[in-house]
């Protein structure tokens, strides 16, 4: 397993940030119209008010209107999913937890299915998906509090029940869909950034940014909760209050993202494991690192989704699953090998 000294964690985090920015710039440059990287950087700098762009107008429009909103959405989506995964794994002290396990993704998929199958119009799809994810998460929290005793495991058990219910209802909606609706629904359930635009980013970015700031600010509380609720209480941390705040932030961030991108698998599960190997388990570095790596990984996955079968496009969830599943298996193998070495 990789071991990095405490003094090197900040430079490694900065290096991950630089790598993510580079991946984003490459994604802006790549596509059916190949734009040189130096002209891509010139366009981006011009858009933020640094210098004047002298590139052809069609290249400027390609990046500004088509590619930049998509790349920014991928950055925001990856940060929300990976940050939410790191927070949930810290709250539950369970490394196999991800946002989908508390019902957000399945509820959003059910909300989207209702709009698609009932023909209510594409404008209602994001709102229905967000509402479905929010209602599912609220139902999970209600089940978790049914016995009146706070628990880190209770939301997971509630999530299993709600996921089973929404899966059954979703199956009924799929059965009722015609061929065109089924294709639309299937593509959305595997995630896509093809319909992103500046209008969506105007509210998506502030919501996710506020939630991510809340996640980062609670790093000391998460470290305390890792020792158990009783020890955290002795350290002055109100475990239930912290848990409510962080669960709320995760639900808002992930629900907002899933409402526009569909279900993107494995990012919230795999990224925290990778960052934990690189930067350690302290949430001071784990959460920012997860935000950065999740953003970069999602941009990379979306770029591959656009390029592999061009001019067609793969759902981004297919790419993240194809990459994430082998990586997660390898991480489990490395962890087991390390534990076997410690036992020996």
Chain mean position to CA 195: 17
Residue 1 lies in a domain: no
pTM higher than 0.85 for the full model? yes
pLDDT tens, 72-101?
999 999 999 999 999 988 888 877 788 887
pLDDT exceeds cutoff 60 at 157: yes
Tell me if 173 is assigned to some domain: yes
What's the pLDDT band for 343 if we cut at 50, 70, 90?
low
Cα separations in angstroms, 327 against 4, 19, 270, 291, 331: 20, 19, 7, 18, 6
Q: Which residues contact 336 (CB under 8 A, 6 or more apart)?
A: none
- Extended strands (E) in the chain: none
Residue 309 lies in a domain: yes
* Residue 281, domain member (yes or no): yes
Classify residue 42: in a domain, yes or no.
Answer: yes
- The pLDDT value recorded for residue 238 is 83
pLDDT tens-digit map of 135-145: 888 888 777 76
Tally the domains of the chain.
1
Query: What's 55's domain CATH number?
Result: 1.10.3470.10
Q: Residue 275: pLDDT band by 50, 70, 90 thresholds?
A: very high
pLDDT, mean over the chain:
85
Structural domain includes residue 67? yes
Position 252 in a domain: yes
What range does the domain containing 196 cover? 6-343
Per-residue pLDDT tens digits for 35-86: 999 999 999 998 888 877 788 888 899 999 999 999 999 999 999 999 999 9
């Amino acid at each position: 397993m990789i071991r990095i000294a405490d003094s090197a964690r900040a430079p490694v985090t900065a290096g991950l940030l630089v790598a993510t920015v580079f991946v984003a710039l490459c994604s802006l440059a790549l596509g059916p119209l190949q734009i040189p990287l130096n002209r891509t950087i010139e366009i981006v700098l011009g858009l933020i008010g640094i210098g004047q762009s002298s590139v052809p107008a069609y290249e400027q429009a390609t990046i500004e209107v088509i590619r930049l909103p998509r790349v920014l959405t991928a950055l925001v989506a990856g940060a929300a999913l990976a940050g939410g995964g790191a927070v949930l794994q810290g709250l539950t002290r369970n490394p196999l937890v991800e946002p989908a396990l508390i019902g957000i993704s399945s509820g959003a998929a059910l909300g989207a299915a209702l709009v698609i199958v009932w023909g209510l119009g594409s404008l209602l799809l994001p709102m229905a998906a967000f509402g479905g994810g929010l209602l599912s998460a609220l139902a999970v929290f209600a089940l978790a509090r049914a016995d009146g005793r706070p628990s880190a495991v209770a939301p997971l058990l509630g999530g299993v029940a709600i996921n089973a219910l929404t899966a059954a209802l979703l199956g009924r909606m799929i059965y009722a869909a015609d061929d065109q609706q089924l294709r639309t629904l299937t593509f959305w359930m595997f995630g896509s950034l093809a319909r992103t635009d500046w209008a969506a980013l105007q509210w998506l970015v502030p919501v996710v940014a506020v939630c991510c700031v809340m996640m980062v600010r609670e790093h000391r509380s998460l470290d305390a909760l890792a020792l158990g609720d009783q020890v955290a209480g002795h350290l002055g941390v109100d475990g239930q209050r912290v848990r409510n705040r962080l669960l709320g932030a995760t639900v808002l961030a992930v629900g907002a993202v899933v409402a526009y991108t569909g279900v993107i698998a494995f990012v919230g599960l795999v990224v925290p494991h990778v960052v934990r190997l690189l930067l350690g388990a302290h949430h001071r570095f784990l959460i920012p690192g997860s935000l950065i790596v999740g953003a970069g990984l999602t941009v990379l996955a979306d770029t591959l989704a656009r390029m592999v079968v061009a001019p067609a496009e793969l759902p981004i969830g297919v790419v993240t699953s194809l990459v994430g599943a082998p990586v997660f298996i390898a991480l489990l193998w490395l962890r087991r090998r390390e534990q076997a070495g410690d036992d020996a």
